[in-house]
Amino acid sequence: MKVFGIAAPMTGSGKTTVTLAFLSRLKNSTGFKIGPDYIDGGLSSRVTGNRTWNIDRWIQGRAYSSVLAGAASKYDYGIVEGVMGLYDSGSPINLSTYYYFRKFSIPYVLVIDVSKLAESAYYIAKSFITRLTLGVVINRYASHKHLEMVSKPFTEHGIPIIGAIPREDRFTVPERHLGLHTGQEMDDIGEKASLVSNYLDMGFIDDLPEREFQQPSPATISGGGKNIWIALDRAFNFYYADSIWALERIGKVNYFSPVSGERPENPDMVYFGGGYPELYAPELSANHALSGMIRDYSESGGNIIAECGGLMYLEREMETESGVYPMGGVFNGTVRKNERLTLSYTQLKAVQDSLLFRKGEIVRGHEFHYSSIADQGEKTLVNIIGKGIDGMDGLKIKNTLGSYSHFSLNRYSKRLERKINGH
């Protein structure tokens, strides 16, 4: 696999736009996203038609190094999109884009937003140019005169200009309270990416070497005929690819759309990921067949994992600007919208056993939401880092586990397999 990265001096520079543009031109390609972001990965998957993989050693543990290796044999090209600015981390351990690029010797393209810069763009960029830098993409220039002013210092200092993208609204991916719109919501994202790709020079890719990545072997799972159902639609689409990969090794993965009124058939496990259930509260509330089935399944001891948006759906009710809507009713809490974003890596201690975790275990995840939950139900996790539900998380009823934190199921795949198989 030929692989390269996309980085920038700061967030909002256009990394996602450039990543999607490159992917739109490369057949049999896949995207990788450094950090816990689901939305960029969903957009990449919509463009390529292939799974996008997060790389995050906080959440995935030592298994993070297996992600590139696992994909290398399946695809011809891989593009690794960075997180925030090149050196940004803000964590107890180094989680910066540059850490991963240096760890795996990944060459990268630097994206520079020049909308408020001219010659100064070079002097900002040079602090982010290293031996791994392939060149720069000049983004959001206003005119040909502006582009000439920006380009001159790069040319004089021998920095290749791989692309130059004008500032045009048609190239913009729309945003909302949690970030960019998701791939499930953007039918035209492939067209947008293809338009932007016309401003990129793809020639450097021919000179990239074919790469092989060494990996530790994934946890051996026996597999089998267990039916695993995953909620997937416009309301629920935040999933780590390595979590889905783990579930595929355990059993047969099926998908259903709660928004469309669908429900799982003969499940051995149901997985509700994150997303935007608050935007589809009327449709979800109207799906009485699903909510009744999920309550019965939970009460019978069925295996359910619900993360963030999934947890919000399993609560008794959700308050939105248009009214209060009954939800799944597995848990007995109320979901309310917050004006302030909760965004954090999380570290938690298990205070009792649950479907995924053992008492006393320290686990790591990520939370990302504009909501709060009032629920006095039994909780199995206490936050060391992160907010959760008033400092606790991991709501539990029998074999149902609901959390504000998102986790890598691949990290706990052997344990989950035993639970699903009744051991």
Active site residues: 308
Query: Crossing angle of helices 39-48/189-197, nearest 10°?
Result: 80
Do residues 129 and 161 touch, judged by C-beta distance below 8 A? no
Secondary structure tally for the chain: helices H, strands E: 13, 22
Phi first, then psi, for residue 307 (nearest 5°) are: -110, 125
CA 410, 36, 238, 368 torsion: positive or negative?
Answer: positive
Q: Which region holds residue 416: left if phi is over 0, alpha if psi is between -120 and 50, else beta?
A: alpha
Phi, psi values for residue 128, rounded to 5°: -115, 10
Q: Residues 6 or more apart from 142 whose CB is under 8 A from it?
A: 115, 166, 167
**Cα distance between residue 219 and residue 81, in whole Å:** 27
Q: Which two tokens stand for residue 130?
A: 């290293």
Q: What is the rounded distance in angstroms from the CA atom of residue 123 to the CA atom of residue 133?
A: 15
Helix (H) or strand (E) run with residue 229 in it: strand 227-231
Contacts of 73 (CB under 8 A, 6+ apart): 1
Chain CA centroid to CA 374, Å: 26
Bridge-based pairing state of the strands 269-272 and 236-238: unpaired
| 111, β-bridge pairs | 137
